[in-house]
Structure 1
Amino acid sequence: MTGLLFSLTFTVAAPFWALMILLPRWSWTRRIIDSPLIVLPGLVIYGLLVLPAIGEVFPAVASPTLGGVRELLGTADGAAAGWAHMIAFDLFVGRWSWLDSRDRGIPALIMSPILLLTILLGPLGLLVYLLVRTRYPVTETA
């Protein structure tokens, strides 16, 4: 079951990334990406992996140590839960970046590589986006 959930994690997020990167100007992209619920499938997978082991997970995250976190993530269940956590949060950050970039008028050709970086190395993609967005003030809409 863990292997299946691990495999599903990126599969359920990939269509949303594809819309933001490949079809940023399609009218349905905005309608779909506007909903924060696009991260729900990843969150459900995370819950399915973490909740049955909450007795082991909670102490490790409530009072984290490097050894404890390493031990937690060193299992198949822990690695799959960590992956689901990363995918869900990266998608949420990518969604926010994409929506914010639309409001700021940042060109899709600039955003596509940033979104790809966010998929691959989430925090670095966010850092690059935060730097880029300083060059583009929010455009006024009437």
Structure 2
Amino acid sequence: MWVLMVAAPRSSLTARVMGPIAPVIALSLAHLAIVLLAASAPGGTEPVKIFADVFDPAQNQLDGMVRLFEVRDFVAEEWPHVLIWDLFVGRAIWLDSLERDVGFTWAALLLTNGIGPPGLLLYVTICLLSGRGVPSMGYRPRDRAEY
């Protein structure tokens, strides 16, 4: 999916595969299956207890995250979680770049695939430097009376 968006952003194949939200939904369903399998394994609810420490301001949150990543089933769940969210953001960047004809999107997509949020920041920078303004990523302000 990444290769399509980076190497052939305007191809009909890329549009057929990445245009619909279906691939991200399918991967999200696979992720849900992983979460359910991990939670049902012996000790699978252990991360829930550790999360309590991670979000307790009296505790060291970084130590809690280290403990979480020592739980094999948590890592099995967290890795696809990160990959799917990065793909979701990459898809949003790709769609926005097509709509607004933004160049050099490949660099932002590669960075998003590699380390996530900095890729979005690069995309915003590319948009600003190219005179396209801050990307809306699908947001359209409505009249306040509609709220």
The normalised TM-score by structure 1 is 0.72
**CA-to-partner distance for each residue in 1:8-46, whole Å, 9 max, x for gaps?**
xxxxxxxx1111011112123123212222223432343
Higher RCO structure, 1 or 2 (CA under 8 Å, sep 6+): 1
Aligned to 1:5: none
Aligned to 2:106: 112
Given the alignment, which residue of 12, 18, 22 partners 1:33? Answer: 18
**Which has the larger share of helix?**
1
**In 2, Cα distance between the equivalents of 1:17 and 1:73?**
26
Runs of at least 5 residues in structure 1 that lack an aligned partner in the other structure = 1-15
Aligned to 2:97: 101
1:53-132 matches, within 5 Å, as 53=39, 55-61=45-51, 64=54, 65-107=61-103, 110-132=104-126
Inter-CA distance 62–126: structure 2 relative to 1 (3 Å threshold): farther
Query: Aligned residue pairs: how many?
Result: 121
**In 1, Cα distance between the equivalents of 2:63 and 2:34?**
21
Given the alignment, which residue of 29, 34, 42 partners 1:44? Answer: 29
How many Å apart are 1:62 and its aligned residue?
A: 5.5
Instruction: Report the residue type matching 1:44 in the other structure.
Output: L
Instruction: Report the residue type matching 2:21 in the other structure.
Output: P
Hey, which bits of structure 1, 4+ residues long, moved more than 3 A?
A: 57-63
How many Å apart are 1:116 and its aligned residue?
A: 0.8
Over the aligned positions, Cα root-mean-square deviation in angstroms equals 2.2
Instruction: Report the residue type matching 1:121 in the other structure.
Output: I
Is residue 42–residue 85 contact of structure 1 (8 Å, CA) maintained in 2?
no
Larger Cα Rg: Structure 1 or Structure 2? 2
Runs of at least 5 residues in structure 2 that lack an aligned partner in the other structure = 55-60, 136-147
Is residue 42–residue 88 contact of structure 1 (8 Å, CA) maintained in 2?
yes
Instruction: Report the residue type matching 1:56 in the other structure.
Output: E
Is residue 50–residue 67 contact of structure 2 (8 Å, CA) maintained in 1?
no
The normalised TM-score by structure 2 is 0.70
Q: SS where residue 25 of structure 1 aligns?
A: coil
**In 2, Cα distance between the equivalents of 1:86 and 1:21?**
19
